[in-house]
């Protein structure tokens, strides 16, 4: 497959990110008006307009896997050097699809099976996305083809990795972020989407190989 095929995948990624942001804003503005500061995006899938957020999880999964496909194509023979990062981004993308299939529980007092699966999936997806962006960006520094994007991608990759550590501390310790967890999550997701957007645009602009 040639780089034209990769360009199509990156274009799908860019369009998908825009659609995701639009749908996210729409569902946030609709009843029951969950707090974007204290409640996570998953809560938006519960309620009279929850199907919009469910659809949005599918959108995130599709454009993330499209990004992965474009990256694999453009890497070519170098893809083995990025294997770990590719796998982690794959977990992020597949995880979004599972989040759509298995909705969350609004209350943790009596968790359902689908709620438990949702929580485990969200943890794995966040760790995959957070560490995946960081690992891949570190590889950029030693790849002449992508050194031009490092200055933009590295800060986002570092932030995502830090968030992943915060997530681990939240899950396995008592270091709960309290009533700002929704905000922290949204900033984290935004950092990954911006990272993907920058790399996709960089790839299209240079009509060359991109790595992920």
What residues in the chain have per-residue pLDDT under 70?
A: 1-4, 171-178, 207-212
Note the pLDDT tens digit of each residue in 109-128: 788 999 999 999 999 999 99
pLDDT at residue 129, rounded to an integer: 97
Residue 106 lies in a domain: yes
Asked whether residue 23 is assigned to any structural domain, the reply reads yes
The answer to whether residue 70 sits within a structural domain is: yes
Domain contains 8: yes
Domain coverage including residue 59: 3-206
Q: How many structural domains are present in the chain?
A: 1
Scan for tokens 């946030």, then name that residue: 28
Q: What is the pLDDT of residue 145?
A: 85
Pairwise CA distance, residues 172 & 119, whole Å = 13
Average pLDDT, the chain: 91
Q: How far apart are CA 93 and CA 69, in angstroms?
A: 11
Distance CA 7, CA 86 (A): 18
Residue 22: its H or E element: helix 3-29
pLDDT at 180: 86
Phi, psi angle pair for 14, to nearest 5°: -65, -45
pTM above 0.85, yes or no: yes
Establish if 211 belongs to a structural domain.
no
Q: What letters, b where the CB count within 10 A reaches 16 and e where it falls short, cover 106-142?
A: eeeeeeeeebebbbebbbbbbbbbbbbbbbbbbbbee
């Amino acid at each position: 497959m040639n780089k034209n095929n990769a360009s199509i995948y990156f274009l799908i990624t860019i369009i998908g990110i825009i659609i995701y942001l639009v749908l996210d804003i729409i569902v946030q503005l609709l009843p029951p008006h969950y707090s974007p500061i204290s409640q996570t995006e998953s809560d938006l899938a519960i309620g009279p307009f929850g199907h919009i957020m469910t659809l949005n999880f599918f959108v995130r999964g599709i454009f993330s896997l499209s990004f992965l496909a474009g990256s694999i194509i453009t890497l070519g023979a170098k893809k083995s050097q990025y294997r770990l990062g590719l796998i982690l981004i794959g977990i992020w993308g597949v995880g979004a699809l599972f989040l759509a299939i298995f909705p969350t529980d609004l209350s943790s007092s009596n968790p359902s099976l689908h709620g438990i699966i949702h929580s485990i999936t969200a943890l794995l997806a966040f760790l995959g996305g957070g560490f995946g962006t960081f690992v891949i960006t570190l590889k950029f520094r030693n790849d002449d083809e992508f050194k031009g994007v490092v200055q933009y991608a590295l800060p986002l990759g570092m932030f995502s990795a830090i968030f992943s550590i915060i997530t681990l501390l939240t899950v396995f310790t008592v270091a709960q972020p309290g009533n700002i967890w929704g905000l922290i999550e949204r900033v984290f997701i935004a950092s990954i989407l911006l990272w993907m957007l920058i790399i996709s645009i960089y790839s299209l602009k240079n009509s060359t190989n991109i790595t992920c």
